[in-house]
């Protein structure tokens, strides 16, 4: 497969996705997926249609999954997986082996960087191959100086490749202590809205409606719905178990 550098984006990131203070956050992955999906849409609008994942656990496979979702909307998207050596996935846990297999089978191209089994330099060779073939790197680099991610980010910048670090984009999110953010730790599985870096995104009229945490003045459970009361007294009712979401204003209810 011919890979055109100007149309190609690669990913590099930590295997464990953490906040800046390493505190547990049940919705961190949801926030990351939202921000990443928006970045991927921006890349697509810029004409970038090839996306390379190195297939490590954590960031790499998460990115591959989001690219596959984007491909459902844009058939010219291509997922390329860069496999450092045969059997990369053998030390993964069962859940990640299953994810690896699903991504492997769905990928548009598999690039095997080395021919044999584990090679201590294979990861570096894979990262160098991705940098050489990409015009942009989307990273999740928490700043661990000796990590492979940090090394890849440094090499990319020295090579003139654009780097967007999602971790840096989330620094304000990490500091938010609003009651709504704390309350919603109980609901990471809800799909009737999305978690973003400043608050929630409700879907209405085929577009996202952003609602910052600071605009939420109350949340309660009513049957199978989470009911959000905003500072302007608009109310959103979001299903806990389905994608249904309704907005209630001026005593008139409409489906969002």
Q: What are phi and psi of 158, to 5 degrees?
A: -65, -25
Domain map (residue ranges) of the chain: 5-171, 177-255
Residue 163: name the closest of 5, 4, 1, 12 by CA: 12
**In DSSP terms, which residues pair with 230 in a beta bridge?**
216
pLDDT tens-digit readout, 38-82: 999 999 999 999 999 999 999 999 999 999 999 999 999 999 999
pLDDT tens column, 11-43: 999 999 999 998 899 999 999 999 999 999 999
Classify 241 as helix, strand or coil.
coil
Given a contact cutoff of 8 angstroms between Cβ atoms, the answer to whether 165 and 153 are in contact is yes
Dihedral angle computed from the Cα positions of residues 252, 253, 254 and 256, in that order, rounded to the nearest 10 degrees: 130
Supply the CATH classification number for the domain 5-171.
3.40.50.450
pLDDT band at 102 (very low <50, low <70, confident <90, very high): very high
- Please tell me the distance from the alpha carbon of residue 83 to that of residue 113, in angstroms, as a whole number: 6
**Mean pLDDT of the residues in the chain:** 94
| % of the chain surpassing 90 pLDDT | 87
Task: Determine the Cα–Cα distance for residues 129 and 84; give it in Å rounded to an integer.
Answer: 10
Over range 182-204, report the average pLDDT: 95
| Section 106-113 average pLDDT | 97
In this prediction, residue 228 carries a pLDDT of 97
> So what's the pLDDT on residue 253?
45
Both structure tokens of 78: 């291509």
The H-assigned helical ranges of the chain are 28-45, 59-73, 94-106, 122-132, 148-158, 166-169, 171-175, 179-183
pLDDT of residue 254: 47
């Amino acid at each position: 497969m011919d890979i055109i550098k100007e149309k190609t984006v690669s990913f590099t990131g930590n295997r464990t996705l953490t906040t800046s203070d390493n505190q547990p956050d049940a919705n961190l992955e949801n926030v990351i997926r939202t921000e990443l999906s928006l970045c991927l849409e921006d890349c697509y609008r810029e004409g970038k249609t090839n996306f390379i994942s190195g297939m490590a656990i954590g960031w790499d496979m998460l990115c591959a999954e989001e690219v596959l979702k984007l491909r459902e909307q844009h058939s010219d998207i291509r997922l390329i997986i860069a496999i450092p050596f045969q059997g990369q996935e053998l030390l993964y846990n069962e859940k990640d082996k299953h994810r690896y297999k699903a991504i492997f089978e769905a990928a548009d191209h598999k690039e095997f960087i080395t021919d044999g089994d584990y090679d201590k330099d294979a990861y570096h060779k894979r990262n160098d191959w991705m940098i050489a073939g990409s015009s942009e790197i989307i990273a999740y680099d928490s700043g661990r100086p000796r990590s492979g991610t940090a090394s890849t980010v440094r090499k990319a910048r020295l090579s003139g490749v654009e780097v967007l670090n999602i971790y840096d984009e989330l620094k304000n999110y990490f500091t938010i202590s609003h009651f709504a953010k704390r309350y919603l730790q109980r609901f990471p599985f809800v799909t009737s809205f999305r978690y973003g870096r400043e608050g929630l995104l409700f879907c209405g009229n085929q577009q996202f409606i952003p609602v910052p945490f600071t605009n939420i003045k109350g949340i309660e459970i009513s049957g199978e719905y989470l009911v959000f009361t905003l500072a302007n007294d608009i109310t959103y009712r979001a299903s806990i178990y389905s994608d249904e979401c309704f907005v209630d204003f001026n005593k008139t209810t409409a489906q969002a």
